[in-house]
Structure 1
Amino acid sequence: MIPVAKPYFTEEEERAAALAIRSGWVVQGPRVLEFEKMVADYVGARYALATSNCTTALHLALLALGIGAGDEVLVPSYSFIASANSILHAGATPVFVDIDARTYNMDADLLEEKITPRTRAIMPVHQIGLAADLDAIHAVARKHNLVVIEDAATIIGGDYKGKKIGAHSEAVCFSFHPRKAITTGEGGMVTTNNPEIAQKIEMTRSHGANVSDFARHGADKVVIEEYPVLGYNYRLTDIQGAVGVEQMKKLDWILARRIEIGTRYNQAFADLDFIETPYEPPYAKHTYQSYCLRIAHNSPKTRGEIMAEMQAEGIATRRGVMAAHLEALYVNRMGRVALPVTEEATQSTLLLPIYAQMTEQEQTTVIETLRRVVTPTKQPVGV
């Protein structure tokens, strides 16, 4: 079976994890600090704070910016459900905004019609490795005195107008899940240039403590920690941090490989008028966290038929991206919300296999199989 995704590990990650274990310090510590510094330096942010996953990163960012009960946050439905769920966890209400049909990202032209006196923040999601139009989103945010919290789960290493994603907004949240370009198994990160936000997140991710375990144990005098605020256990382990350090060293190569594979897919399907390949706007380059095709209405086969036949041929695919507003959790809370572009996209898109170590032969097999599956078989004369 050719999988839809596969993490890229070598002996370096195995060795680094083993060294962390042998050190005796396996909770958040020196390797997490090193990982944080590497991410901050890479994206151009003053601060980077590791968390247990991107959902907790979003939750902490919302809390640090004072988002809570009675507040509304504008967010696309066309995203993994964690984006909207993090807003609920903060006590606020997600307000769903439709997407642009080509980029699959939040349509900034639709933001103002969703703003009410309760709106406090905008949460753009950089979907499947392509940056949202941040200038347009920030223009609306400035006009209405809103904060921007980026869900950058899929786009570590991506850029907007030549600048790395990670320092454009008040807070930016990354994921290191195995489906992402680099991974720590599970893991997340918040980057920010605001020292107050950084300090709040540093405390709330670790039970609200005013000093970390590592700093306390490394002090040359007795330090008794205090807990001035309510916090959570949202920490990353040092074993994961060690893996993250090695993954960061490979990031540029991994992204280059994904772009190479994505470009080949684009060329392979360019002649099929019923398959729409990923669009690149002038302000951003695609990093292909996923390779997403749209199956047009004139396709000889439905998306479901294509996915089933590819599976039978030993090739995994996935639906494009879910629509959170159609899930029972949100239908029961807010009724039916009309998001026609999102609803069309979630029904018509599918993901093909893409991972850094994908061989040329594996990709050839995917390409040839998909082309064969979607091409109608001519019946013999007289049948």
Structure 2
Amino acid sequence: METKTFIPLMIPDIRQEDIDSVTEVLQSGMLIQGKKVEALEQQIAAYLGVKHAIAVSNGTATLHLALLVSGIGPGDEVIVPALSYIATANVVELVGATPVFVDVEAGSFNIDPQLIEQQITSKTKAIIPVHEFGLACNMIEINRIAQKYGLVIIEDAACALGAKQAAVFAGTSGHIGSFSFHPRKAITSGEGGLIVTNDYETARQLRILRNHGIEYQDGKMNFVSAGFNYRMTDIQAALVLSQFQRFNDILSYKQTLAEVYFSALQQSELRLPHVPEGHTHTWQSFHVLVPENTSRDALIGILKEHGIGVNLGAQCMPNETFYQEKYGLNSEKLFPNAFKANQKGLVLPLYERLNESDVQRICDTLKQVLHA
């Protein structure tokens, strides 16, 4: 078999200008949360059209803090999609609340709004809709439900900076929105996250909690809460700030690669992603479902042998060991779409350092292996 260059699932596109931006911070001697973090917060807030943005150490920290400032704790229930990265449910557990799982739509992989109301009880305090794989949720309907029952909305937009439903950015129509700068995202700080809100008091509390509970009063440091060390460093902020200058170009290019996938795979046996009308996708992942008679795990191994780095998608969270042992839910019966997406889901490479011929090679190899 001809030896070809291995195509990884993801490689961040770190350019010389990004390195130079980090070097500038290193040479300054001011490495922790400072002017670069403040600049990042201002630029993302302006881009999204929100009043406050708070940068923190990672995407999980954004959700943890959001739950805490929303007053959610023991005895409360929080509605989450059954399909997401495990952190979405873990943070609910970490504040002592109970995650209540709701199945996702078969086409979008986002939480199904039609199934939410039947899971609301007197204990329900919040909904965490996840904009899965970079596709904006149906926030119009989710907001309607939340307003009807007086629920807090914490949007998990970890994968979806720049995604929209109509003209509204993912992460901006709920009470709090959270984003991640993990290396698999369009722009990265290595580890890092950002929380957005339009509420001044929420933003104030978030800033206090991320920094050991410190609030500056009359220029003096005052510990007003038992907070965390969830700060982002200026090194991280400089790295992501530099990439943010070309962010719109990044999203445009990822859309181009997604279109190559659609064109090349439309006649295949795979179930391709669905983008509902009026929604935009940032393509953090190109997630497909393999045929029923195909072993997804075996396919991953074969594709890697052919030089294509692929992986499974998100977790069916109630089916993971911790949640099975604690709640014992029948995921295949209760959350069939999430269960199938987890068992048959396959994520294909989609990032800036790929070119269209790389994507074509991925598609040709995939179709060849499936046919065989």
Question: Would you say same fold, with TM above 0.5?
Answer: yes
Matches within 5 A, 1:1-383: 1-211=6-216, 223-272=219-268, 274-297=269-292, 301-337=294-330, 338-376=334-372
- Which letter does structure 2 place at the counterpart of 1:296? P
User: Which whole-Å CA distance do the structure 2 matches of 1:360 and 1:191 have between them?
Assistant: 35
On the 8 A contact 2:153/2:174 being kept in 1, the answer is yes
**Does structure 1 conserve the Cα–Cα contact (< 8 Å) formed by 2:264 and 2:360?**
no
Q: Which runs of 5+ in 2 are unaligned?
A: 1-5
Aligned AA for 1:339?
F
Quote how far apart the aligned CAs of 1:304 are.
2.4
Structure 1 CA distance, aligned partners of 2:229 and 2:20? 27
Instruction: Measure, in 2, the Cα distance between the counterparts of 1:313 and 1:185.
Output: 28
Cα shift readout 1:121-178 (whole Å, capped 9, x = no counterpart): 0000000010110011111111111010000000011111122223211000000000
Q: Is the 8 A contact 2:31 2:235 kept in 1?
A: yes
Alpha-carbon distance between aligned partners in 2 of 1:62 and 1:144, rounded to the nearest angstrom: 18
How does the TM-score come out when normalised to structure 1?
0.93
Alpha-carbon distance in structure 2 between the residues aligned to 1:352 and 1:167 = 28
Deviation at 1:251, TM superposition (A): 0.9
* Cα offset, 1:295, TM superposition: 1.4
State the Cα distance separating 1:111 from its structure 2 match.
Answer: 0.6
Secondary structure (helix, strand or coil) at the match of 2:111 reads coil
Q: Give the 3-state SS of the residue equivalent to 2:261 in structure 1.
A: helix
Q: d(CA) in 2 for partners of 1:371 and 1:240?
A: 39
CA distance in 1, matches of 2:298, 2:172: 42
CA distance in 1, matches of 2:220, 2:142: 44
Secondary structure class of the residue paired with 1:94: strand
Instruction: Give 1:318 deviation, angstroms.
Output: 0.6
Taking structure 2 as the reference length, the TM-score comes to: 0.95
Deviations 1:330-372 (A, max 9, x none): 1122112421111111111101111112023322221111111
Aligned partner letter, 1:63: L
Moved more, 328-337 or 46-55: 328-337
Cα distance between partner residues in 1 of 2:353 and 2:167: 26
Q: Secondary structure at the match of 2:121?
A: coil
Contact 1:133 1:283 (8 Å CA) reproduced: no
Is the partner of 2:206 in helix, strand or coil?
A: helix
Deviation (angstroms), 1:100: 0.5
Deviation larger for 335-344 or 260-269: 335-344
Shift of 1:254: 0.8
For 2:249, the aligned partner's letter is W
Q: Work out the CA distance in 1 between the residues paired with 2:255 and 2:10.
A: 14
Native 8 Å contact 1:158 1:164 kept in 2 = yes
Residue 306 (structure 1) shift = 2.0
SS at match of 2:150: coil
Q: Tell me which residue corresponds to 2:3.
A: none
2:41–2:54 CA contact under 8 A, matched in 1: yes
Give the Cα separation in 2 of the matches to 1:224 and 1:306: 59
Distance in 2 between residues matched to 1:271 and 1:245, nearest whole Å: 40
Kept in 2, the 8 Å contact 1:44–1:166? The answer is no
Aligned-pair CA distance for 1:308? 1.6
Contact 2:77 2:98 in 1 (8 A): yes
Among the aligned pairs, what percent are the same residue? 37
Asked whether the equivalents of residues 258 and 355 of structure 1 are also in contact (C-alpha less than 8 Å), the reply is yes
- Please state how far the C-alpha of 1:327 moved relative to its aligned partner: 1.2
CA distance in 1, matches of 2:63, 2:215: 21
Residue 240 of structure 2 aligns with an amino acid whose one-letter code is: G
For 1:176 and 1:234, how far apart are their aligned partners in 2?
14
Q: Which runs of 5+ in 1 are unaligned?
A: 217-221, 377-383
Residue type of the alignment partner of 2:17: E
Where do 4+ consecutive residues of structure 1 move more than 6 Å? none
* CA displacement at 1:302 relative to structure 2: 2.7
What's the counterpart of residue 380 of structure 1?
none
Question: In structure 2, what residue type is equivalent to 1:200?
Answer: Q
Q: Is the 8 A contact 2:214 2:223 kept in 1?
A: yes
Conserved? CA contact 2:261–2:360, under 8 Å: no
How much has 1:28 moved relative to structure 2? 0.2
Partner of 1:379: none
Rounded to whole Å, the distance in 2 between the matches of 1:37 and 1:128 is 25
